[in-house]
Amino acid sequence: MNAPTIPDRAPLDPEEVLGRLAAFWANPERGKFSGTIPLRIAGSAWDQQVPDGTQNPYWEIIRQLPLEDRLPWATGPEPVTHLITDGPDGENFRYLADRFALCGTFSWSICSPGDLAWIGEVLGGRGVVEAGAGGGYWAWQMRQAGIDTVAYEPVDPADNKYVRREWTSLLRDGHDAPKRHRDRALFLCWPSYGDPWAAHALACYEGDLLIYAGEGDGGCCADDEFFRLIEAEWEEAGSSAAHVSYWGIHDYLTAYRRQA
């Protein structure tokens, strides 16, 4: 099965991707390295059910992706968007989805039902302000979970090279918008690599609770100043045990409290 032909920046159709995955699981191929049928999150101890009355199409796709089979997982399952095989046609990769198209359509950080429950516990009834919300997938999920969420994104989806669609209503304003919401927790998701906007948003924020989804210092998110600010002014208060990352992506969902 070849990689799908997807027009540049076109959002994925969740039902089409789920249909492709259902066809794979109806006749799964063995992993090249393990020689066994791959595992998936669906039906495993790592499975998480989307609450009734809500929608999370990203998670429904993630739970059906095959899991990396070469090494034991360090902290949890690692879904892959392809399956490495020894097919008779000589193809080494069977693509089930395009990670970049998935991330552009939904979010660069996977949002699981357990993540949303954990965020609710950390907030303790407080609201959230999100800067750099992208397509607003996390904002949409938090709103469905009953979390009062104000989300800002300065760039329209039509002009945003990282975003393929918008999931909820967003306010068009710059990354200094959190300065007006000190009563809310600040949420930042996968700030663009090497870009100073996340550091600017954090420096403007006067509240005491940060929730961050993304890679750490030295990874593919934000810039050095962002992580310097966290080190100097914040202390880790916990992380979501239900968070799932793609294979090879060191992504965490972490809460920070401002140092006294």
Report pLDDT digits (tens) over 192-243.
999 999 999 999 999 999 999 999 999 999 999 999 999 999 999 999 999 9
Q: Report the pLDDT averaged over residues 79-101.
A: 76
Does 221 fall in a domain? Answer: yes
Does 60 fall in a domain? Answer: no
Does 211 fall in a domain? Answer: yes
The whole-angstrom separation of Cα 138 and Cα 134 is 9
Does 245 fall in a domain? Answer: yes
Nearest Cα neighbor of 135 from 169, 165, 101 is: 165
Does 83 fall in a domain? Answer: no
Q: How many folded domains does the chain comprise?
A: 1
Q: Amino acid letter at 147?
A: I
Percent of the chain with pLDDT over 70: 91
Q: What is the CATH number of the domain that holds 228?
A: 3.40.50.150
Q: Which residue has the higher pLDDT, 89 or 11?
A: 11
Q: Domain range for residue 169?
A: 113-258
- Tens digits of per-residue pLDDT, 229-259? 999 999 999 999 999 999 989 999 999 999 9
Does 41 fall in a domain? Answer: no
Does 33 fall in a domain? Answer: no
SS (H, E, C) 155-214: CCHHHCCCCCCCCCCCECCCCCHHHHCCCCEEEEECCCCCCCHHHHHHHHCCCCEEEEEE
Does 246 fall in a domain? Answer: yes
Q: Which two tokens stand for residue 227?
A: 């992580």
Q: Which two tokens stand for residue 237?
A: 């208060």
pLDDT value for 95: 79
Q: Which two tokens stand for residue 41?
A: 């999150």
